[in-house]
Amino acid sequence: MTKITVNLADSISVINPNIYGHFAEHLGRCIYEGVWVGEDSAIPNTGGIRNDVVAALRKLKPGVIRWPGGCFADDYHWQDGVGPVDKRPRRVNIHWGEVVEPNSFGTQEFVRFCRLVGAEPYFVGNVGSGSVRELREWTEYCNFDGDSTLAQQRAADGSPEPLDVTYWGVGNENWGCGGSFSPEDYGTEFRRYATFVRGFGKQLYVIACGPSNNDVEWTVRFFRKLRTDFWDFRNIHGYAAHYYCGTAGTATEYTVDQWYELIHKGLFMEPLVVQQRAAMDAYDPRRRIGLIIDEWGTWHPTEPGTNPRFLYQQNSLRDALVAATSLDIFNRHADKVVMTNIAQTINVLQAMILTQEEKMLVTPTGHVYEMYAPHQGGTALPIGIESESVTFKARNSENDLPLIAGSASLKGKRLFLTLTNSHASESLEVPVELLGGAEARSGSARVLTGDIHAHNTFDAPSVVQPEAMDVTCEGSHFVLTLPAASVVAVEIQL
């Protein structure tokens, strides 16, 4: 029996728009060709930033964009990316193919990009190969509203007013490419670096590196070290885990079982959120420190004929289902999660956008973000889902995948409901009951669906895109028909 109940008499928390954040690293063609083409390019641009990409991202409404990495962050020195472009040094990108990094796209360019798309910038500082002074001076360059040498340099670079950067990460994956620290060693380094991350009159949001996957031990050891040595250390506001659900098959070639397998792997995000927050609560019961997932998504083998270190992959309807079910998890746990950043924005991993010279397309995952944008700032509501399951085989074992997932939010008299049907070939009739005395007056819906292997290409960029869907939403009970392999967004007037 499949059934959905939405309790409008209760609430979870306001859904932070930063849950719908993105991640843009100096990796492959994410920045160069994806965001930045230069002012002399024949591709229409604003100060070197692609106009088509900006227009597409504005529709997705990213709350925040994380930059410059990733592993790149802990070998990046911000001074290389400021000043006259023709005088910036050319460095080797040691993590992503040892290509030459021209530093044409630096601090000022990234902040302009964020402002153009309507997102807040989130900078990741260099702990692995950098210095405390370097990170302290970056915050001064960005935020000091005075007559220091660094503020004068910022003004000469084009921004007399402060850049007002709020979000600052202290290193990236410091258990691995960011320095191979133990949790205790990183705890010591974090406290030292974070002490000098100053707002210069602006309240900053300082983020510590969390674990790979759901490594509760890393979290416990980090916070134990932080609290044991200095029990009331306050300059930590966020704590960021990473989770990649990987692949099953390739980006576009997979069996029906592999379709189910990858969606199932994506659902492990929920125990990560619950268990990481519980581990944090032991040291932070008032939840002054927010849980962040600032890298997550699918990770397929790179497309044939492309540089394997550039992590370029296609993006199918299956990726869209993983994105949708993950966003629904974050919405349902809006009291636990304050920010997430899917990896990555353009041309890398589970991208929102793919580009090829002058061509640009929005991927199925990008369309999910646009469909789900109305959740931002809404109040998450408790949702009960009774769902049938499908059994699939993976690595010589059988597993069960619930077919229906979803989340609900409320803004005034508007109820927004997002649902997924993971069944590869069958539509499902889903009864919906509104609890708490509310009744639906009317409704409208959009659906993203197609063949389970469907994806957009530069020759056919609109194979997978949202379409209007007929629904009848009246009273406290109604039925929704969810097509096979679909993401559905329903807006209900109460």
pLDDT band at 322 (very low <50, low <70, confident <90, very high): very high
Q: Is the per-residue pLDDT at 417 higher than 80? A: yes
pLDDT band at 230 (very low <50, low <70, confident <90, very high): confident
5 close to 406: Cβ distance less than 8 angstroms: no
**Catalytic-labelled residue, pool 25, 173, 189, 261:** 173
Q: What is the spatial distance between Cα 212 and Cα 293, in angstroms, rounded to a whole number?
A: 10
What's residue 446's pLDDT?
A: 98
Return the pLDDT at 227.
Answer: 85
102: pLDDT strictly greater than 90: yes
- Pair 196, 135: CB distance under 8 Å: yes
∠ CA(15), CA(49), CA(54), 5° rounding? 35
Half-sphere exposure (Cβ direction) of 34: Cα atoms closer than 13 Å: 23
Given pLDDT bands bounded at 50, 70 and 90, which one contains residue 103? very high
> Residues 139-195: pLDDT tens digits?
999 999 999 999 999 999 999 999 999 999 999 999 999 999 999 999 999 999 999
Is pLDDT above 80 for 231?
no
Report angle CA 303, 306, 311 to the nearest 5 degrees: 65
Q: What span, in angstroms and rounded, lies between the C-alpha atoms of 24 and 349?
A: 11
Residue 136 burial by CB count (10 A; 0-12/13-18/19+): exposed, middle or buried? Answer: middle
Q: Taking CA 396 as the corner, what is the angle to CA 395 and CA 400, rounded to the nearest 5 degrees?
A: 80
pLDDT at 486 over 90: yes
Q: Position of tokens 């674990």?
A: 211
CA–CA separation, 155 vs 137, rounded Å? 15
* Rounded average pLDDT over 21-48: 98
Which residues, 6+ apart, have CB-to-CB distance to 389 below 8 Å? Answer: 400, 401, 402, 403
pLDDT digits over 122-149, tens only? 999 999 999 999 999 999 999 999 999 9
Burial of 459 (0-12, 13-18, 19+ CB in 10 A): exposed
What's the CA gap between 77 and 280, in Å, rounded?
A: 31
Q: What is the reported pLDDT for 17?
A: 98
What is the average pLDDT across 306-316?
97
Q: Name the pLDDT band for 211 (thresholds 50, 70, 90).
A: very high
Beta bridge partners of 293: 241, 340
pLDDT of res. 396: 84
Residue 201 — very low, low, confident or very high, per pLDDT cuts 50/70/90?
A: confident
The mean pLDDT value of the chain amounts to: 97
Report the share of the chain in percent with pLDDT over 70: 100
pLDDT band (50, 70, 90) for residue 90: very high
Residue 340's SS3 state is strand
Q: Record the pTM.
A: 0.97
Mean pLDDT (whole number) for 116-121: 98
pLDDT recorded at residue 346:
98
Q: How far is CA 447 from CA 1, 178, 364, 404, 452, in A?
A: 23, 41, 11, 14, 14
* Mean per-residue pLDDT, 49-64: 98
Distance CA 98, CA 91 (A): 9
Catalytic residue of the set 120, 189, 295, 370:
295
pLDDT in tens, 463-478: 999 999 999 999 999 9
Q: So what's the pLDDT on residue 279?
A: 98
Cα–Cα distance between 211 and 168 in angstroms, integer? 17
Q: What is the rounded distance in angstroms from the CA atom of residue 60 to the CA atom of residue 72?
A: 25
DSSP annotation of 34 reads T
Report the run of H or E that residue 334 belongs to, with start and end: none
List, in order of start, the domains of the chain with CATH numbers.
16-377 (3.20.20.80), 381-493 (2.60.40.1180)
Chain segment 345-354, per-residue pLDDT in tens? 999 999 999 9
pLDDT at 232: 74
Q: Is residue 173 flagged as an active site residue?
A: yes
